[in-house]
Chain A
Amino acid sequence: MASVSEMYDVTWEEMRDKLRKWREDNHRNSEQIVDVGEELINEHASKLGDDIWIIYEQVMIAALDCSRDDLAWTCLQELKRQFPGSQRVKRLAGMRLEALEKYEDANKQYDSILQDDPTNTAARKRKISILKAQGKSAEAIRELNEYLEQFVGDQEAWHELSELYINEHDYGKAAFCLEELMMTNPHNHLYCEQYAEVKYTQGGLENLELSRKYFAQALKLNNRNMRALFGLYMSASHIAASPKVNATVKKANVKYATWATNQINRAYQLAGRGTKENKCSVKAVEEMLESITMS
């Protein structure tokens, strides 16, 4: 089988830089990381200098994702040799145990880290991940709440908690988590849009109006967010169709829905140009939008 460098005509430096970019962007493209990283480690280890250690870590985690225990083990051994007694390496060993579904042993690893360093957030989060993997959502939620009481600024944790609540259909609490995220990340259109989706799901006129506002806010922050555009269309249409709203509110929402329709149409016209491929999906949207009756 051809090597990565042969297939894509890249140098080892480019491969190393690609790995760095994926690290910085926190990409979980594990199969690619394994392909590129394994070749770098096997063929160019001597040229990598001190970068090799962080690459071992990155490749190890990706290898666990792809069930490549052989590769993960190799990376772990190198790291153990270079950094004996390191908490960070201990955590990696724990992750390997998790991948092998040896949850009790993994928990022991993390507990021993926490004994030496009770503020080690990584170990605490791994323990919560184990609960999640075992399907123990109620416990995971409880532990994550406790964690957030101490580490109230941990964005990743707030987002994880919102996902757990959504899966438990506890939309009120999910909304609360997303409110925290929106407060600390006011320019993030994804949080606005997710919040709007949760509000829409909760239902009821008040929540629908909130959802419409936040879909609109998401669009202000990123006018190409299609989910927000569709969300605006749907929430405004539902409000306009509700018997509980007065004529003024109805009129306003009809306006919003119509605006959204036009934007959606434009986006699909642009998308449909030149490619035969998505003609079916474009047609489906056109028909759907034609069917809105604004009386």
Chain B
Amino acid sequence: MGEVELSCLAYVKMYLHACLFPRCSVNGLLLSSSPAGGAVCVTDCVPLLHTHLPLAPITQLALTQVDVWCAQTQQRIVGYYQANACVSDSSPTPCALKIADKIAEQCNNAVLLMIDGGKMSPDYRVPPIVMYERKDTRWTLKDKHTIMLRQWEETRDIASQLLDSGDHSLLVDFDSHLDDITRDWTNQKLNAKIAELASPANGNV
């Protein structure tokens, strides 16, 4: 199918989410601020859960809230990401497929992204991600050549920097928000930090 572009912002937050909860499976939603049609540009992501991923109520709640926020900010939900706790197995779980199916109902070239925990070392030469797209009713592996990550080395370095400085703890996922609702799951603060680090490398991320 079509091309998918993954922005620095989306990648870094996903990566940091996985790093923040190394013993848990984590998941989140992929968003786009570009109009529908043509290539899918993932411009941002919202980290959702790190506990009880298969349970329904909080997932439903999060989807609803993110939907509302997207409408307010002219974004769309275009995909779903997950990193499994067990690093040896990066295949999509039934709950991942279920949520991705739901997203595909509203967005016909939605993507399902699995983070490959075994390949997450800081100097890895390729992004530790595996993407799936919907062909008929099944999620199939996407051709690697249709996935674009501009400025990969810079993106990777930004992620490492934030990890080293401990700033990854700034990341708030929906679960953490429910533990303390003064914390912002849209991550404005972290977004600003990432933008700051990205600006000399690339004019627009």
A interface residues (Cβ-Cβ under 8 A, vs B) = 28, 133, 135, 163, 166-167, 169, 194, 196-198, 200-201, 203, 211, 226-227, 230-231, 234-235, 267-268, 271, 275, 277-278, 280-281, 283-285, 287-288
Contacts and interface: CB of A to CB of B under 8 A. Distances in A.
B58 A197 contact: yes
B117 to A, nearest CB: 12
Interface stretch (B108-116, B129-137, B150-158, B175-183): B175-183
Interface in B59-89: 60-61, 64-66, 68-69, 72-73, 86, 88-89
Nearest to A168: B54
Contact of B69 (A135, A235, A275, A280): A280
Contact of B64 (A28, A231, A268, A288): A288
The prevalent SS among residues of B at the interface is: helix
A277 B184 contact: yes
Contacts of B186: 280-281
Contacts of A281: 65, 69, 177, 181, 184-186
A226 B186 CA distance: 18
B200 interface: no
Task: Determine which residue in A211, A226, A268 has the highest number of CB atoms from chain B within 10 A of its CB, and name it.
Answer: A226
A278 B183 contact: yes
B182 A234 contact: no
The list of the 8 closest CB pairs from A to B, nearest first, reads: A278-B184, A201-B56, A280-B186, A284-B69, A271-B181, A197-B55, A284-B68, A287-B68
B52 interface: yes
B188 interface: yes
Contact of A226 (B55, B86, B88, B181): B181
Nearest to A277: B184
Contact of A166 (B55, B57, B72, B88): B55
Contacts of A285: 65
Contacts, number: 85
A200 B73 CA distance: 31
Contacts of A169: 54, 94-95
B61 A268 contact: no
Interface in B1-56: 23, 52, 54-56
A277 B182 contact: yes
B182 A201 contact: no
B72 to A, nearest CB: 6
B195 to A, nearest CB: 16
Given A163-B52, A277-B183, 11 more contacts: A166-B52, A197-B52, A197-B57, A200-B55, A201-B54, A201-B57, A230-B61, A230-B178, A268-B181, A280-B186, A281-B65
Contacts of A135: 86, 88-89
A167 B54 contact: yes
B182 A287 contact: no
Contacts of A280: 69, 72-73, 184, 186, 188
A140 B73 CA distance: 45
A147 to B, nearest CB: 21
A234 B55 CA distance: 14
B193 interface: no
B125 interface: no
B102 interface: no
A166 B94 CA distance: 12
B144 interface: no
A97 B189 CA distance: 40
22 contacts: A28-B23, A166-B55, A169-B54, A197-B57, A197-B58, A201-B56, A203-B56, A226-B179, A227-B178, A230-B61, A234-B60, A234-B61, A235-B57, A275-B182, A277-B188, A277-B189, A278-B181, A281-B65, A283-B72, A284-B68, A284-B72, A288-B68
A268 B180 CA distance: 11
A278 B21 CA distance: 22
Contacts of A200: 55-57
A226 B23 CA distance: 24
Contacts of A194: 52
Contacts of A203: 56
